[in-house]
């Protein structure tokens, strides 16, 4: 009996080590808790984030241990990537946003249009055929397909009334990035310098790759299996994130 207990402990220990390696070096699951990335990511989506896409920093590991101060095996993210990062305010909270501007670039909103390095970002109004929320509020919105200079396209939504029409010019520092939520008027992001601002390269956690599970919590929590017929978003299972 004693030998069996020891073997079971060893099995659990090895399983935990393997899980830790996978989580730290390969893929980490995340839950989407807010509507800041609608319509592309919804509350209740569970996603896999690749940890190797941009190399590794101390934030690649649980509890962000001070193992090293810079990234190792560093790779530059691409404009338009959806990225998980630690907020500069506390170096602890995970945010997920879309990368808009790279180091040493400029970004500005003028009369509602987006300008990257003084060039207007191309966009066309589209009908997405779904509601957009901000918390419990159902937004009156307009949706655009925006295309960045590298050809990356995505859907972004704006309030019809009350959207941010003008900003100062943001100048992204070296080794930093500028992020925005796709639900533009329901997102705390790099436009808010005191709470988020520019994100240091060392704060990048990984790239959002795929939705592996999705549950509409308004129609039933996951543990309420008798409501799965209405709450599970089967069409989002294993959906590639763009």
Inter-residue contact 11 to 170 (CB < 8 Å): no
Which residue among 35, 36, 60, 231 is the active-site one?
36
CA 190 from centre of chain: 13
Residue 49, helix vs strand vs coil: strand
Q: Can 36 be counted among the known catalytic residues? A: yes
Q: Identify the active-site residue in 51, 97, 214, 231.
A: 97
- State yes or no: is 50 an active-site residue: no
Tokens of 113: 């249009």
Alpha helices in 26-65 (DSSP H): none
* Tokens 């309420």 sit on residue: 224
- The whole-angstrom separation of Cα 112 and Cα 167 is 9
From CA 74, how far away is CA 52, in angstroms rounded?
A: 9
Kindly list the catalytic residues. Answer: 36, 97
């Amino acid at each position: 009996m004693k030998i069996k207990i020891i073997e079971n402990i060893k099995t659990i220990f090895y399983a935990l080590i393997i899980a830790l390696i996978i989580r730290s070096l390969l893929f980490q699951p995340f839950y989407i808790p807010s509507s800041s990335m609608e319509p592309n990511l919804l509350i209740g989506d569970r996603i896999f984030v690749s940890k190797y896409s941009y190399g590794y920093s101390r934030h690649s590991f649980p509890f962000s241990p001070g193992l090293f101060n810079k990234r190792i095996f560093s790779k530059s993210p691409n404009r338009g990537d959806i990225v998980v990062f630690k907020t500069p305010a506390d170096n602890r909270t995970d945010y997920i946003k879309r990368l808009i501007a790279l180091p040493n670039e400029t970004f500005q909103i003028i009369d509602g249009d987006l300008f990257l390095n003084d060039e207007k970002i191309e966009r066309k109004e589209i009908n997405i055929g779904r509601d957009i929320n901000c918390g419990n509020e159902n937004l009156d919105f307009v949706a655009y397909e925006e295309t960045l200079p590298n050809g990356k396209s995505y859907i972004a939504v704006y309030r019809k009334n009350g959207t941010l029409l003008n900003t100062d010019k943001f100048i992204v520092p070296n080794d930093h990035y500028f992020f925005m939520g796709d639900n533009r008027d329901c997102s705390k992001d790099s436009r808010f310098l005191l709470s988020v601002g520019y994100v240091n390269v060392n704060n990048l956690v990984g790239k959002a790759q795929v939705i592996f599970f999705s549950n509409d919590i308004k129609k039933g929590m996951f543990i309420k299996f008798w409501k799965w017929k209405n709450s599970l978003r089967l069409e989002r299972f294993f959906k590639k994130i763009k």
